[in-house]
Structure formats: C-alpha cells, structure tokens
Structure 1
Amino acid sequence: MATMVHERGTTVPRAAVPDGSAPAGAALREPDIRRHELAGFLRSRRERIMPEQVGLPRGIRRRTPGLRREEVAQLSAVGVTWYTWLEQARPIQVSAQVLDALARALLLDPSERSHLFALAGAVDPAPGAPSPTITPSVRRMLERLEPFPACVQNSRYDILAYNRTYSVMMCDMDALPPEDRNCLWLAFTDPQWQAALTSPRETKQTLVARFRSDMAEHLAEPPWKALLARLRNASPEFCEIWERHEVIGNTGRSKRFVNAHVGTLNVVHTNLWLGPTSGPRLVSYVPEDDESQARLEKLLLLKTLEARQPAAV
C-alpha cells in the first residue's frame, strides 16, 4: 500500500509525487532534464523580481530574495502547492494557459517567454509578443512625421514615446513624470489635457470602454490592476463610467482639440500597430484641413524655438 503525503491539507499518494531528484548515480532522461531546467529557470526569474515591481508590499520580515513562491502563485492564479511542485521539478502537467500566466507574473521578456515554453514542451498561444522597448528606428519615424503629432502607446494607454508636436498638443508632456504619461490618467486628472478636449465626457467614456475591452486579456497582470486602482482612487467620474461595463474597439476617427497655443485643431486619429494588435501602436494625428495643417506647423515651430532658449539660471 502506498504511503500518503499531506501537502497543505491535500492528500496525495507518495508514488504520484516524486521528490524531484534522481537517485545518486542515476542517469536523467530528457523529460527529467527538462523538468529540472524549468524548475531552475522559474526559481531564478522569481528571485530577481522585487515585490514593488508587481505591486506587492515588501514587508519587514522578507528573507527570500525576490518574490515568494506563494506570491508567484497568487499573481498567476494557481495553487501554492502546485507551483511549489513545479519548482521542485515534479512530474506534473502544465497547460499553455498556466505558462502564459506565469510568464506575465514573472515579467518575462519575449526571449525568456520562448525559453519557458520550450522547457515545458508546450506551444506558446501568443508567439512573438512584442517588447515595449522603443527602438531608435521608431523614434526616427516619430521625428519624420512632424509636424503631424504622433506617439507610441501600449494597450494600457501608456505613452511610451512621442514627437515634438505631440509633446505640446494636449499639455506639456515633457513636464510630466513618466508614470503620469497615460491617456486615461491625464483625461481624468490633468486640467490642461481636459481643457484641450472639445467633448470631454464623450472622450472619457470612449477611453474607459476601450480600456475595459483591452483589460479582458490582462485581468491578472499587476500593471493593469495598479492602473485601475489608481484611477479609481483619483476620480469618482472614472468609477461611475467604469461601472457601466461598456466596451468598444479601437478605430480611427476625426477629432477636434483646442490647443492653448494655436487654437482649434481638426485631425484624423489613426492607429498603426507595430506588431500584434495587443502590442504597442503608433498613434498619429493628420490634419483635416489647411488651417489645421498651418497651426500644427506653427506649434512645431513654437516648440523648436522654446528648445533653443537658454535655460533659466
């Protein structure tokens, strides 16, 4: 009769739960090697992440480098015991969905994600996920689009990069800390950004509906949850719109802004994805009329002249 092992209230036959180590002198088979490599890889990725990176408190008695196993399990929505067995190289089945959740929780880059799926012998459901890194070629593209305002955003509406015209179209982007460069955050909290909107209520409703639609694929991801919590804490209006559960997709359309320096701008908003539609996108604003074209050229000139002014002592 097989002996029994008790793991946090779960009783499992000893024969079904090997200890993850091979007998001394025994040769490891390929599946065993893969399991041990996977266990070591997961452990190394877990230990390099600080709690603050994923929105968790550090605590005063943290002895473990990086995250604890139970924290990874929580972020990935899997059982603590099950994840512990995975790091112990025990022979358990891992689905592609769980691997995807682990990759997100451990903040794996595309190369690390590919390595994770290869070690697990699974097919990645989202291969080639783009990196949020803004390359020099993308920055040059933004510059070449001037005087048309343009920026790069991710699906969370973080503004990752922008050209000079965009930097002053809505507000002074350069004066904002990076964590505040988010269209949702600015629409609900920044007076300058709000003043540039000709239909602020409609714009906010559209932004929230798109954010809710996009978040359906990222519900367990800490950056998404952190942004949602921040917006809820900062804006009762956001909370009211969020509770409507409205969703809408991303489409290009005509927009009108009132710029503090040059006046009304009539533009066409266009999204150009730099990879899969869940990744970063190039957002451009093309003038609809000659007057808007002239005003954008003037706006770029004002920004250029401002940059040439000597810094105040």
Structure 2
Amino acid sequence: MDIVSYSKAAKVEREVREARDSYMTLDNRMEALSIGNVASVKLKSELPTKGDNGRVYMVQKDIGNQNEPTLYTYDGLAYVKAGGDRLSNHTENGAIILNGTKTVVYTHPDTHDADMLTDGNIRVVMTREERIKLSNIEPSANHYIHPDIHSADMIVDGKDHVSMTREERSKLRSIDSWEVYSDLVDYADVFTYFAFDEQGRIIRQVVTDNYTEQSVREPVWTLPPSTDDYAENDSLMVIPVGEVYRFDGKAFVQLPGLLDVIYQYDTEGRMVAKSITAMGTTPMQTKFSYIYDSLGNRIAVKKYQG
C-alpha cells in the first residue's frame, strides 16, 4: 500500500464491515465508505461499471494481485492499477498525481474530536477536569500565600543589599566595639591620622583635637629638623610613633592625643592584637588579643586593661 497508511486501511476495513451490515446497495455502501476521493470494495467485481475520473478505488482482496489490497483509478474506459511510475506527488496537501490526473485522497474535516489531539512541545491539550478546575478559579486570583518565615538560604545578593553568611556573622561578632571610648571624643572637633605599613595595613591611628582653627600639614615620618617653612599653629603628625606636634612660633610642641591605637599582625596578615590608649587626666589603655582557628576564622577576642 504505497498511498494509504496501514492505519487508514484499518479504518476502511472497519467501515466496510459496518457498511455491509447497514447498507443494501453497492452505491449506498460506496457512499458510506468514501474518505476524500477513496472508495473501498471487497472484490474487484464489485467496482462500479463506470468509475469516476480522479477517484481512487481500493479492492481489499484483488484476485489478480494475490488477494492483496490494490488501488485502481478509472481512465474513462477501464480501471487502471495505481502504482509505480503512474503515481507522483502533488504540491497540494492531501492530493497526488495518479495516472496523470490530480486525485484528492484525503480532505481534512472542518471539525473533529479533540480526543485525537496529543500534547506538543509548546502547547498541550486540556482535559475536561482541567477545564472544570480552571472555571472555578476566580478572575485575577492569586492562591499563593507567602509563609510567615522562611530560610535565609533562599535570599540572593542584590545590587545594593547582600545577605550574610554564618561565617561573616561570626567574624562580625568578634570585632570589638569602639563604644569603649566613643564618649571621650566629640567627633565634630577631632582629626584622625593613620599610619600604614608596606602592605597597606593600618599600624597606628591617632585621634586628636585642637585642630579646629589650625592649619594641618601632611603627616611626616620624622620630626622636621628645622622650623623653617612652618607658620605658627601649623600641626603635623610623626606617623611611625603616632605623635602629633604643633609649631607654637618657636618650637614644635607635642599635643596629647585623645586616642592612640596600635595594631599588630601575624605573618599571615591577620590582626592579632590592638591597643587603645585613651588620653585624659590619667591615660587609660585597653588591649585586645585575637585568636583564630586553622581556617583563619577569628574565634575569640580577649579584652583586658593594661
């Protein structure tokens, strides 16, 4: 069968049986079996005396073809077996060129049962149960209820805000607070100097006042050997030792710092100690010692007065 698929042939056979039981005349039977322009009979002797031009006739058991299903067309004078070089494709869907004549072998119906549809890659078929479920959803409904709490693991970093890991929280908790001396400093009237080592780490920090109406010079590494080029009340910091000086018009006078902070690091660049000296009537020094685990996480802070 080089035109009609096995599935269509099976459908034709089923209709043959139904037609044989329901219709008495051959003409009525052929009309009931018509699929597009394809008609089916059991034996070749049952073919109409004169066939229709452009119509395909299938003989289910052709004695001349070893009782195999065989296709014929009518050329106006006789039935001609369809096959081989007598059959070619036609550009129109559902049509072929058979014995030189355009023949429509299948015409798609205007409507058909939705049960024959199957799901595709993009669109799918709706069942009756799904239609009922969809019809019961009110317009613009949102049945999602956000939980009162959920794990922070589902939060991802945004452009401006980020989430915190347990390791970051542990590290943040271990950082000592500056509240131990914040009440000693009026930050609106102070100046802070930083001293850095070769790796860019802060090794000394001095917070001092008396700068409100003074001209502040850049930090220097050693106290200038001469007061030349310095105007009265010019101030400077000798950063290696964290000392602040002011030129009083005659000499450099050391100023007391409100805070003097010294940082210490180990060979791997981790801060292991910090000493904060708050200047007052009696200098008060607070020391911090930091302890790390084998992974480099700070796990303890020791604070004591010294």
Name whichever structure is richer in helix by fraction: 1
Q: Which has the higher strand share?
A: 2
TM-score bracket, normalised by the shorter chain, equals under 0.3
TM-score, length basis structure 2: 0.19
Largest Rg, 1 or 2 = 2
